[in-house]
Amino acid sequence: LLFYLFIQHLIISSSYTSLYKKSSTNKNPAPDVAAEVGRYEDVAKRIIELAVFGAAQNRSYRRLADFTDTIGNRVSGSQNLEMAIKYMYNAMKQDGLDVHLEPVKIPHWVRGKESAEMIKPRTKSLAMLGLGSSVGTPPEGVEAEVLVVQSFEELKRRASEATGRIVVFNQPFTNYPETVAYRGFGASEAAKVGAVATLIRSVTPFSINSPHTGWQTYEEGVKRIPTACITVEDAELMWRLAQNKQKIVVRLVMGAQTLPDADSFNTVAEIRGWQHPEQVVLLSGHLDSWDVGQGAMDDGGGAMISWEALSLIKDLGLRPRRTLRAVLWTGEEQGGVGGQQYFNLHKENISNFDLVMESDLGTFTPMGLQFLGSDAARKVMEEVIKLLAPINVTKLETDAEGTDIFLWMQAGVPGASLHVADSRYFWFHHSEGDTMTVQDPHDMDLCSALWAVVAYVVADLEDMLPRRP
Ligand SMILES: *[C@@H]1O[C@H](CO)[C@@H](O)[C@H](O)[C@H]1NC(C)=O
Ligand SMILES: *[C@@H]1O[C@H](CO)[C@@H](O)[C@H](O)[C@H]1NC(C)=O
Ligand SMILES: *[C@@H]1O[C@H](CO)[C@@H](O)[C@H](O)[C@H]1NC(C)=O
């Protein structure tokens, strides 16, 4: 999950949803949707039984463990990511699915050797991680006095103090979309007022001295300065020292560089529809991760339940009217690169995309399905989600999200995302803490069951989900 979420959120929650509201009032009510969807009660029970209590119990967890324990993390451009794609291609093929790869050029940023140290008022090493796309420092590093601010607004007010300084952002965590703006744009904002580097307080509500990396973006025409994240603890420490008028000096050394774009692939597995093979229900997660931890939560889990959903349907000998397509995206963390290229390549067939789904906020205990679509489509989905009653997840929420499905949703294709009990998600996000230890097999079974039931039933209904006219 990267930071463009907050831009999506603005777009979707303002213009986009109101468009749907206006356009859907003249829709005919669908003829007995409840009865049609209700006929899937038995098949939904069979999927749930297999996933949660039957032979497939713990399978998506075991698959995720095998995958992340073998490959490790998978940052864009790395050999690990290449290995991961080969691994998943082979694994899904062996599982009997129709698998192919679609080429994508992705960014190749490497962090190199890096460190940060507070030199004054005392010596203390600072746990840090360079931010994706950051430039490096000269080999000897950047050593400068620190200016600590709590907000962009404070930086503006104190612009005259920023020249030649390392700006430390100690913004409090409110919510991810809001707070991540500091990671995304802190470097350019500080460079505009003459800073030589920035250290951003990690975007997390909870910390045991853990730095949390992520992508950042330089503004066109603004000097590119090195930028890294530091821990909540160290940001607060420097803030307190600054409040006491202590002079703080930090040395930052970063070997980061951006190499030429690398070759990569979106990994696509399918169960072809028997009646309308050209029509698609797409379910997805991203295969790339950051270069720390194991990328188990972000987003190995989302990728695995998308595969698992197809496995469950196949194991039950089911084949829907439309094609079920699991896409494991590449380059998500670098700006949704794989998702964007996929959209551009396939948008000529947009009228055949029935529903796009992405899971990228963890695979903890499922709470409901987030859905974005016309009122008429929502009526259908409200019936579909009732089929999840055996696992107690029957809530249809608003505002689907997902970096890789966003463009489809913006273009009017109904979208869905998994809402899980994600209160711990940002504790581990983009840090060394994102490991298998965060995952729970039963939770993953529940997520897989939900994902499979929703995808299968929508792909098998008589009609595609109604869109805005
Ligand atoms: C699934 O995992 C749970 C918890 O670790 C364990 O109790 C259960 O026996 C496992 N089931 C199978 C079929 O491996
Ligand atoms: C669009 O759909 C047609 C018909 O199914 C198919 O032949 C074609 O390959 C599709 N184009 C892309 C870019 O997927
Ligand atoms: C659903 O809720 C009921 C009642 O609280 C509970 O007995 C049951 O175990 C739950 N099912 C699952 C799969 O969590």
Q: What is the DSSP string of 154-178?
A: HHHHTGGG-TTPEEEE-PPP--HHH
Tell me which DSSP letter residue 439 carries. Answer: -
Residues 6+ apart with CB under 8 A from 122: none
- Which position has the token pair 């349907």? 313
Tens of pLDDT along 23-35? 444 445 456 999 9
What are the extents of the domains in the chain? 2-108+260-460, 112-255
Which member of 332, 333, 358, 401 is catalytic?
332
Around ligand 1, the residues with Cβ closer than 6 Å are 57-58, 441
Q: How far apart are CA 346 and CA 328, in angstroms?
A: 15
- Residues constituting the chain: 469
Cβ of 344 below 6 Å from ligand 2: no
How far, in whole angstroms, is CA 421 from its chain's centroid?
A: 15
In 3D space, the residue among 320, 317, 335 whose CA is nearest the CA of residue 283 turns out to be 320
CATH number of 112-255: 3.50.30.30
The ligand with the least distance to the CA atom of 350 is 2
Question: CA–CA separation, 365 vs 421, rounded Å?
Answer: 5
Active site residue 332: yes
Contact 268, 346 (CB under 8 A): no
Cβ atoms of 405 and 347 within 8 Å: the answer is no
Question: Is a pLDDT exceeding 50 seen at residue 283?
Answer: yes
pLDDT of 3: 52
Evaluate the omega torsion of the peptide bond into residue 414 and state whether it is cis, within 30 degrees of 0: no
Give the model's pLDDT for residue 16.
45
Give me the chain's average pLDDT, please.
94
Which residue has a Cα nearest atom 12 of ligand 2? 346
Output the CA 104–ligand 3 centroid distance in Å: 43
The reported pLDDT for the residue numbered 10 is: 45
The reported pLDDT for the residue numbered 165 is 98
**Tens of pLDDT, residues 367-412:** 999 999 999 999 999 999 999 999 999 999 999 999 999 999 999 9
- pLDDT confidence tier of residue 212, bands split at 50, 70 and 90: very high
| Lowest-pLDDT range of 28-32, 97-101, 263-267, 291-295 | 28-32
Return the pLDDT at 17: 46
Q: Are 115 and 130 in contact (CB under 8 A)?
A: no
Residues 335 and 2 sit within 8 Å (Cβ to Cβ): yes
Q: What angle do CA 13, 16, 17 make, to 5 degrees?
A: 65
| Confidence at 468, pLDDT banded by 50, 70, 90 | confident
Q: What is the distance between the alpha carbons of residues 235 and 355, in angstroms, rounded to a whole number? A: 43
How many C-beta neighbours within 10 Å does residue 250 have? 26
Contact predicate 206/428, CB 8 Å: no
Res. 1 pLDDT band, cuts 50 70 90: confident
Task: Label residue 102 left, alpha or beta by phi (over 0 means left) and psi (-120 to 50 means alpha).
Answer: beta
Worst-scoring range by mean pLDDT, 8-22, 83-97, 341-355? 8-22
What are the helix and strand counts (H, E) for the chain? Answer: 15, 16
Using the mean position of ligand 1's atoms as its centre, give its distance from the Cα of residue 451 in Å.
Answer: 20
Q: Are 284 and 425 in contact (CB under 8 A)?
A: no
Given this model, what pLDDT does residue 11 score? 47
- Looking at 3.40.50.2000, 3.40.630.10, 3.10.20.30, 3.30.1330.10, the CATH number of the domain 2-108+260-460 comes to 3.40.630.10
